[in-house]
Structure 1
């Protein structure tokens, strides 16, 4: 190094930032008195930059957010970063915003250059929801990983989103587990706790400096559940499996009655944050749901009866592919004649297709029009859902003839077209007609009235529809009207869901917790169709649905018991301590 270089470095070191601790001042003094090579100089610059950077007491990312998080959510993120060093289990009760807490942690790490490579694992149905939350609320770019990997993007340091199901299959699994991640976030992390399952093996093969596990139920049926999750974020904290059992396994299998409970609570609080709704002031408005039984016209009733009878007769000897077609026909028949007509022709039933084409309009459309005028007259916007494009088009044409302005939203629109439809609904149109596309990833809290022209057989889709309006930021009670034709499968489904699990009174997220306890591979829609197609008559179908309803009741009881067990283990009597 030349003399000139030495003098330049010494001069720059002599320009000491004000307010440095004595230790740094002394170090800089020694370095300025001697020749300094560029490597040493760079190290000093880096040390000064680290010192200047504020600690996690100050959150740099808050001014960049497009929303204002609740105080307990910011407090949780600070606890994770300051005390838990970025490896934690977020175990808030459902509906309190674990996604927001994880987003706050991730945003803060990224702003400090500590999260260039981030992976988010989530159930398949939540990938788009995570994408919306990260991009719209936190301004974080995302890319979705599938099959062979993920596409290149111009975005800087995109967050990689992957469904758990896709991530545990090759070749994507090797791609994700072959490198080092700065941050891994796993939603619904209770699916990862079994180390022998494919999902559990995936989680244990990932390498990350920071790890966030999100689950409202870190404990369900076994105390070992808690051990497995805690050991993922903090290996050794609870000892070896044998030591854990010796210290804490109580008599029997009840996870809410372990031995040395105070000691176990103290340990779990080192890595776990849990808030209960009773502890935080997050009050969503009410859901005011009503089911309106619509008496079909004679032609509509004849069509539905004919379709149902034909499906039952053919289902007995149908192939798997044909059964899927028949299931789709059954759902279409419950929506509108316009929706089912082309499907009947394609299925090879021209007589029923002709009957459907001969029916103009629908009784549901008449009743919907009456409701829309009432709400619009009161200055209320209305979000109208249907599962099928044909029904959507028929409703749009009818409203246009009646002079009722309506924006239209469906999956075939471009991204720009979808944005335009939402903007038109927000700023001008009193009605938005939508397929399921708006049931995923769209927040429409400026509206508080919703009508279902038909009902999905999957209750989670019903919840997703309602979740567009009933969420944090909604300032009014949400009014929901379900238009259900008498004598249809939809009527029976809704009866089961309302009478057995109080569907419309559940907190956001609780439905998924309940359905997940019926059976690992439980498919509500498939179970309903199987009960319908194989029943000898309507009375037998009703009996089978009743048995299905009892399974839901049992699952709901298990969920409530599990929630109580978690509170006993980590809730304690000072629920706020975990957030300090």
Structure 2
């Protein structure tokens, strides 16, 4: 580790004869002078400096300092507490995460810390926060010195999300490694150095390591910590997945490598795949499939320490109900009429004729899937149908396999990026007439019965104040209805996002749309994974049915997830009530999925061996529907033999999954074990209530008090604060230079809809706290500036019975630990307070009891009395130093005990030693006079 890495962003250091704030500490130190601006940044390499870079220690207040009252003292206390980034408690990462995790999200971290080598399968439901849970583990292991590198393996469309989450929430600058980025990353590297050796933290696309060269290079240089997202896809059958399994299996074969496996669907009905997944944790767990009796019991008991799986309702057991919104669902049928119904019938006849006319068994199967895809396009929109009819079919077995074509048609979860209309047109004289009809209907979208139904569904949603996402299957459909909605929802900004755009552009468009108060997003399934939408949207309309029920969960999971502020989210499922394909999908697949989930209590993907069950069902649908004079859902497919086969396979898979629910890791980890540590962390660093009080008082002092709203939130005019603070807000992307509108903020995990959730590590309190603390400690700061807090004060209060001196302290500790990577030291700091008797000069109150004195009402003293009392107190400050030093050493002993106790409770073998750094920094010193 270089010297720069020993420091942490936000810490105060001394270099080149002055004090600085650390902005970045990766390879070099990027520093900003106290009270300086972003334009004053300096980058230094500590090893090349004439004098060593040290942690800053500050002189105590002096008689020349500005005097203040209780309100200023309270502000300085809160600024000190909320500016801490490296807390001294047993959770080393607590001060470096930029959000407030919930207690249940700490459970996987507690499980991981119990293991010498981490092998953990996190299988929580969609939206609970698996990425957050994994990030907490990574951040903690880095700060403990247990790991120094890691890699996240994920599908390509999730690379950007992972990189963003690690940077924004955990202050980890991970490098995205994709096929398109590899050349740039390797450009300046020696031929003998791998990307994975040069960049310590990487997020790697599974597609990137498919090639032979990449595959073996990654295995050779793989870090000692690996996170595998969507881990079920590495053990499932199918083209390309065997290669993934070989890779992850080879990584797991290293007994010293830490592995986190993440998936919302650990069991997809394939027993072998599920036990292969468990076998990645420990090869012996794969034997659970065949084990019985005592052997099975022993394996399950061991597995409980490596496997955690929770549904929404399980979270209530963690004493945190109400973290997720209420989800209301409804169906919205429509009926094809006139030309639209007639066109559908002609397409149905055309598809049957194509299948009959194609020769050769393989081509006939390809034709079946191709024409079935055409039926889906027609059901989606005339625009999608026209585009599909104009594109030549892929009937050449050498060009595409049946498994690939069926996967596209059946909405395979790995093909969410594939939203192009399939090529189904062939050399056929009948096509010109069908294309002409499709083009005609496409040009009159406002007459489309399906689009009319969408308008009705939207009117109801918008009337209730929702911001909806409309999910379509194909690009042509999304583009068509997006354009048409501009006319029908003229008061709303409508944006269309499809797989035709690069992933970076999709995210930019979504964020820009989120800046508008009235917004509608039209998207294909390229957004069903990858970009979380809960910050801006609270409703989903399934314009097109997906043939994969998991895809519906993924769509809704973009808004119905941890962090959603709206108390109610809604989803609407649209379907054609006289569309036989919609009818079969709705009755046999979607509703059956819900019924089986309700019956068994678990939800698994439909077990469909490469589409064989769906193929049989749809063959029956097309056979029965063809020739009907009027299409109707009276064609009941739910009682067909094909439907019964699907149901039986599904029930069997669900029952198998239900059995695995007996292996819940939460049975071995009680909520109270986590809650105690979490409450201690909140107390030390400050929770929502502390943050609200501080921001409220800070903005009031700056002349821009928060404006309360009826919803319980506030408006805050960040653009009107002094320029040096506004500049910091702009640098943190809280506002733009041209912004003139106040922000709406709330101080809770789920504030009212349309407001920003502000927690202790959010940029708003962070900037204010750091600025107030820096200004107070900077001897060159402008004393008349609103943001310069006095470090001295005196007032009268009923909180004390005798003259009391209150010292506000910053106590620093050195934590020496020994982990897998050998000895490591880290600096930690905490805010503290001691109340002394002015008569005996002995401590009377400590920590929270002393802090609480600042929360009691006080009255100003006359100038002369205040000056005399402050002078007397400061003259005695030197005499208090032994007590301050003793307090620091006692705090170190307590902290060492906390670390040892937590480590022992977790079964950790690591060693830790905590030593106080003296002298203690006296940040503020106050005199409290008893009331008369």
TM-score, with length taken from structure 2: 0.47
Would you say the 8 A contact 1:333–1:340 is kept in 2?
Answer: yes
- In 1: Cα distance, 2:463 partner to 2:638 partner: 43
Question: 2:333 maps to what in 1?
Answer: 293
Note the alpha carbon deviations across 1:216-254, whole angstroms, 9 max, x for none: 78799999999976775567xx6xx9xx98xxx8xxx77
1:115-514 map, 5 Å: 115-122=147-154, 130=162, 133-134=165-166, 137-138=169-170, 140=172, 141-145=174-178, 152=185, 157-163=200-206, 167=209, 170-187=212-229, 189=231, 199-206=244-251, 207=254, 209-214=257-262, 232-233=280-281, 258-259=293-294, 263-264=298-299, 267-269=302-304, 271-273=306-308, 277-278=313-314, 279-280=317-318, 281=320, 284-318=324-358, 319=363, 322-323=367-368, 325-346=370-391, 347=425, 349-359=431-441, 360-361=444-445, 362-402=448-488, 403-411=490-498, 412-413=500-501, 415-416=504-505, 418-445=507-534, 446-474=536-564, 475-488=566-579, 489-502=581-594, 513-514=604-605
> Structure 1 residues 425 and 491, CA, compared in 2 at 3 Å: closer, same or farther?
farther
Classify the secondary structure of the residue corresponding to 2:584. Answer: helix
Residue number in structure 1 paired with 2:659: 564
Residue aligning to 1:49? none
2: CA distance, partners of 1:571 / 1:77: 12
Contact 2:154 2:203 in 1 (8 A): no
Q: Over alpha carbons, which structure has the higher Rg? A: 2
SS in 1 for 2:561: coil
Structure 1 unaligned spans of 5+: 1-44, 46-52
Q: 1:61 to 1:420 in 2, by over 3 A?
A: farther
Say whether the 8 Å CA contact 1:287–1:504 is kept in structure 2: no
Asked whether the 8 Å contact 1:147–1:172 carries over to 2, the reply is: no
Contact 1:514 1:552 in 2 (8 A): no
Post-superposition CA distance 1:322-350 (Å, at most 9, x none) = 55543332221011223322433442511
Q: What's the CA shift for 1:575?
A: 5.3
Instruction: Name structure 2 gaps, 5 residues minimum.
Output: 1-51, 53-84, 189-197, 392-424, 629-633, 675-905, 907-932
Q: 2 CA distance for matches of 1:510 and 1:57? A: 39
Native 8 Å contact 2:637 2:643 kept in 1:
no
Structure 2 CA distance for partners of 1:404 and 1:301, relative to 1, 3 Å: farther
> SS of the counterpart of 2:469?
strand
Q: Retained in 2: the 8 A contact 1:272–1:578?
A: no
Counterpart-to-counterpart distance in 2, 1:167 and 1:554: 34
- In the TM superposition, residue 365 of structure 1 has moved relative to its aligned partner by 1.8
Give yes or no for contact 2:384–2:476 (8 Å, CA) kept in 1. Answer: yes
Once structures 1 and 2 are overlaid, which stretch shifts more, 300-309 or 108-117?
Answer: 108-117
Select between 107-116 and 489-498 the one with higher mean Cα deviation: 107-116
Note closer, same or farther for the CA distance 1:344–1:567 as it changes in structure 2 (3 Å cut). same
- Does the CA contact (< 8 Å) of 2:329 and 2:570 recur in 1? yes
- Alpha-carbon distance in 2 for matches of 1:316, 1:110: 62
Question: What CA distance in whole angstroms lies between the structure 2 residues aligned with 1:559 and 1:295?
Answer: 34
Residue 299 of structure 1 deviates from its aligned partner by: 0.7
TM-aligned CA deviation for residue 301 of structure 1: 0.3
Q: Show the counterpart of 2:106.
A: 74
8 Å Cα contact 1:288/1:477 also seen in 2: yes
Q: Aligned partners of 2:229, 2:378: CA distance in 1, in Å?
A: 37
- The answer on whether the counterparts of 1:218 and 1:566 sit within 8 Å (CA) in structure 2 is no
The structure showing larger relative contact order (alpha-carbon pairs under 8 Å, at least 6 residues apart) is 2
Alignment partners' CA distance in 2, 1:374 and 1:136? 36
- Give yes or no for contact 2:587–2:638 (8 Å, CA) kept in 1: no
Distance 2:452 2:235 in 1: 51
CA contact 2:529–2:555 (8 Å) conserved in 1: yes
Contact 2:122 2:260 in 1 (8 A): no
Quick one: distance in 1 between partners of 2:310 and 2:543?
37
Distance in 2 of aligned mates of 1:553 and 1:541 = 18
Closer/same/farther in 2, CA of residues 219 and 386 from structure 1, 3 Å limit: closer
Q: Secondary structure at the match of 2:588?
A: helix
8 Å CA contact 2:354, 2:367 repeated in 1: no
Query: Cα offset for 1:307?
Result: 0.9
Partner of 2:60: none
Count of aligned pairs: 509
Post-superposition offset of 1:428: 2.7
- Matches of 1:482 and 1:533 in 2, distance apart? 23
Q: Distance in 2 between matches of 1:401 and 1:291?
A: 25
Q: 2-side partners of 1:399 and 1:79: how far apart?
A: 49
Deviations 1:253-301 (A, max 9, x none): 776x631676545544554556565343466334322222212230110
The residue that corresponds to 1:27 in the other structure is: none
Report the CA distance shift for 1:521/1:124 in structure 2 as closer, same or farther (over 3 A).
farther
Instruction: Name the CA distance, whole Å, in 1 between partners of 2:506 and 2:263.
Output: 36
Query: How many angstroms does 1:302 deviate by?
Result: 0.5
**Following TM superposition, by how much is the alpha carbon of 1:54 offset from its aligned partner in structure 2, in angstroms?**
8.6
Q: Does 1:85 align with 2:116?
A: yes
Deviations 1:292-321, CA, capped at 9 Å, x for gaps: 221223011011111111012102344366
Structure that is richer in helix per residue: 1
Structure showing the higher strand proportion among its residues: 2
Inter-CA distance 184–57: structure 2 relative to 1 (3 Å threshold) = farther
2:605 is paired with a residue whose SS is helix
The equivalent of 1:98 in structure 2 is 130
Please give the root-mean-square deviation of Cα atoms over the aligned residues, in Å.
4.5
**Mapped partners of 1:77, 1:313: distance in 2:** 59
